[in-house]
Amino acid sequence: MTTQDVLAPTSITTHPPTAKSDAPPRNTVSSMVVAMIATLMVMLDTTVVNVSLHATTARFGSMSNVQWVLTSYLLALCATMTASAWIIDRIGPRRTFITSMTAFLIGSVMCALSPSVWTLVTARAISGAAAGIIIPTSSVLLIRGVPRESLGKVQSLNGSVQLIAPLIGPTVGGLLVDRCGGWPAIYWANVPIAAVLLVVALRIDPDEAHIGHRKLDVLGLLSGSAAIVLTVLGVSRMGTTSRNMTAFTTIALLAIVSWAIFLLHIRRATEPLLDVSLYRNPVYSWSSFNVAVLGFGLYAPMVVMPLYLEATRHLDTVRTGLVMSVSGIGVIVAGVLCTTLMKKIGGGFTMALGITLSLVATLPLVWLTGTTSYLLLAGCLAVRGAGISLTIVPAMTRAFESISRTAMADASAQLNLLQRIGGTIATAVIIAVIHHQAMLVRGLSPAVFSYANIWILGATSVTLIPAFALARAERRCSEL
């Protein structure tokens, strides 16, 4: 529906009158549904592939080589996400989505048909490169035609959908591997979903004509991509630095040099690859900082608890996933309440409430044993799911609400990159903690996971500081 359609005067017609509806136009709903399902598929794809590593190793042999299935995907995703805002501006969100979804579909088929591990690694890199563009493009399509007063509700719903993916991923992955044909089923599952999304996307109204295009910031693209990729690669190798300290040091030095070049360049560039002027807005800058530091609340528990259930309680992948999926109850309940809470107490204080819930839910897990009640575990997971939802969703929502629609692609790329880097750091640190503690006690005993939860408890407590800083920024902006 266009502005002219809304403002056009009513004329006499022979057609029967239609009832007025406040429902959004069908094209807007289609864009929202496509965006949410695409984001869920990409997030779910990352989680379920982790479950298939054992079966993939059994097929191709070397675990060290199979690990590159994960690494190549993540590195390609970060590299293309850096340039996603420019691509969206250049050819429009609809065309960008169709192109990247087609590439993701092709990559998934190649993965399923891979005859060797390096073919699989290459195919995962293609999928990762496509996913790095799909995620920010979906954020732009999500708000297409949505009134500004409804942005918070839409972003809150989308945030809750994204949080469901890592919770149901282990169960879905286990069922696909065990009951649907082994590791290739993980990739075949993407094919019909991507195909349907493409068909629907083709029926969405074409993009509005662009009047001007910003030039490609080549130096920013090269230095920024290198900085992010090297940072993610270096952090992911933190747990193995003792075996190859030279390689880690080289990666770290190259990352520092790349960051220095990138940061110096974007301060001087007239049309930088990423619009860093967004950080002049205090609400956006504190929201972004919160997104980056919340990795310990979101990603670290997704490492600790599944490993505890499998190593000490001897549950298989499917049963572990079913226990972890209880967190989804909390996510859904908090997602329903999140918009109302943000309107009443603001995003910062909603985050503080969510962090407090996460702390309360994590505290009992500091005393894990081999016989800890499953009822207690379920309760803690459900409450922590609510806490995570009330932290991540307000941070992302406030960031998007504080900027103009034209900056949505830049913001989405930046926020997702910050979340990925923060999550990678949190995951690497908690794995290193578990590895070190396991060496001390000579095994993955419950005490190892109790100690890891102490780290999560401490790191989560620190995130209260930027949450209250966001609340202060919101108050100051409202007073202007």
pLDDT tens digit string along 338-389? 888 888 888 889 999 999 999 999 999 999 888 999 999 999 999 998 998 8
For 403-457, the pLDDT digits (tens) are 887 778 788 888 888 888 888 788 778 888 888 888 888 778 888 889 989 999 9
Q: Which of 187, 206, 225 is the last residue before a domain boundary? A: 206
pTM: 0.80
- 468 exposure class (CB count in 10 Å sphere: 0-12, 13-18, 19+): middle
Please tell me the distance from the alpha carbon of residue 298 to that of residue 384, in angstroms, as a whole number. Answer: 9
Is 330 found in the same domain as 236? no
Return the pLDDT at 26: 56
Phi, psi of 420 (to 5 degrees): -65, -45
Q: Which of 254, 272, 290 is the last residue of a domain?
A: 272
pLDDT over 70 for what percent of the chain?
88
Q: Is residue 478 part of a domain?
A: yes
Residue 154 lies in a domain: yes
Q: Does 390 fall in a domain?
A: yes
Number of domains in the chain: 3
Domain-located, residue 17 = no
With a cut of 50, which residues of the chain have pLDDT below it?
1-23, 211, 241-242
Same domain, 161 and 81: yes
Instruction: Say if residue 221 is in the same domain as residue 281.
Output: no
Q: Are residues 302 and 451 in the same domain?
A: yes
Residue-range definition of the domain harbouring residue 321: 277-480
436: in domain:
yes
Residue 222 resides in a domain: yes
Residue 255 shares a structural domain with residue 162: no
- Claim to verify: residue 84 and residue 139 sit in the same structural domain: yes
Which CATH number fits the domain that encloses residue 446?
1.20.1250.20
Residues 288 and 362 in one domain: yes
SS (H, E, C) the chain: CCHHHHHCCCCCCCCCCCCCCCCCCHHHHHHHHHHHHHHHHHHHHHHHHHHCHHHHHHHHCCHHHHHHHHHHHHHHHHHHHHHHHHHHHHHCHHHHHHHHHHHHHHHHHHHHCCCCHHHHHHHHHHHHHHHHHHHHHHHHHHCCCCCHHHHHHHHHHHHHHHHHHHHHHHHHHHHHHHHCCCCHHHHHCHHHHHHHHHHHHHHCCCCCCCCCCCCCCHHHHHHHHHHHHHHHHHHHCHHHCCCCHHHHHHHHHHHHHHHHHHHHHHHHCCCCCCCHHHHHCHHHHHHHHHHHHCHHHHCHHHHHHHHHHHHCCCCCHHHHHHHHCCHHHHHHHHHHHHHHHHHHHCHHHHHHHHHHHHHHHHHHHHHCCCCCCHHHHHHHHHHHHHHHHHHHHHHHHHHHHCCCHHHHHHHHHHHHHHHHHHHHHHHHHHHHHHHHHHHHHCCCCHHHHHHHHHHHHHHHHHCHHHHHHHHHHHHHHHHC
Whether 11 maps to a domain, the answer reads no
| Residues 385, 304 share a domain | yes
Same domain, 155 and 238: no
The answer to whether residues 372 and 446 belong to one domain is yes
77 within some domain? yes
Question: What is the CB-side half-sphere exposure of residue 13 using CA atoms within 13 A?
Answer: 7
Q: Are residues 55 and 132 in the same domain?
A: yes
- Residues 284, 228: one domain? no
Q: Which of 182, 206, 230 is the last residue of a domain?
A: 206
